[in-house]
Amino acid sequence: MSPGRKIKKILSHPNSLTLFRIIAAPGIMVLLLFPDSRLFTISAALLFSAAAITDYLDGYFARKRGLVSTFGKVMDPLADKLIVSSSLIMMASVEWIPGWMVCVIIARELAVTSLRSIIAEGGEDVSASVLGKYKTGFQIAAIIPLLLHFQLFGIDFHAIGMFFLWGALVLTVWSGTDYFIRFKNFLRI
């Protein structure tokens, strides 16, 4: 096998794509240390966009090629939460978005992740709900324009991002509540 084909095979492996998202998170954080630089914020938005695409691709490749693994089942949702949370935290730190919204979103992610661990121990399916998928879509749709932040080509990317962030917040609370209601029998309260 040629070196080019080996590299292509490695880069299209679902676990490699998951690792890319994990590595992209600190890259975005470093870029956002320079919030006044359009070059750096555009680079952060591009890096986040590439990571978001790999989220779709790793699931697609895992199912298509039969490469579903324990590593992927555990690390894929963790990588998603890492890239989203680190981006939101950095944007709150430079006051592009309200910190309380970030706290609500991250608190839901931690609570649902904990509940999913309990459910998995009980042998139940812990795949994401439709509401959870919409929530993730709105988060991605919010973060990309919020990372751009500046007006470009006469478009107010911050306003667009805030619109989607409010939608993500509503879906975050709704999907989290739905998850706890559906699986309340797993909670030993």
**Rounded Cα gap, residues 48 and 28, in angstroms:** 7
Q: Which residues contact 106 (CB under 8 A, 6 or more apart)?
A: 85, 88, 89
Q: Model's pTM, two decimal places?
A: 0.84
Q: Phi then psi for 98, rounded to 5 degrees?
A: -70, 135
The per-residue pLDDT for range 26-63, each reduced to its tens digit, is: 999 999 999 999 999 999 999 999 999 887 777 666 67
Tokens standing for residue 125: 């399916």
Nearest CA to 180 out of 88, 106, 110, 97 is that of 110
Q: Which residues of the chain have pLDDT under 70?
A: 1-14, 59-62, 65-74, 122-128, 186-189
Return the pLDDT at 6. 54
Q: Are 55 and 164 in contact (CB under 8 A)?
A: no
**Rounded Cα gap, residues 31 and 48, in angstroms:** 11
Q: Where are the domains of the chain?
A: 3-186
Q: Does domain 3-186 have CATH number 1.10.3730.10?
A: no
27: alpha, beta or left? (left if phi > 0; alpha if psi -120 to 50): alpha
**HSE of 146, CA atoms in CB hemisphere, 13 A:** 27
Return the pLDDT at 93. 95
Q: Are 51 and 20 in contact (CB under 8 A)?
A: yes
Sign of the Cα torsion 168, 109, 81, 67 reads: negative
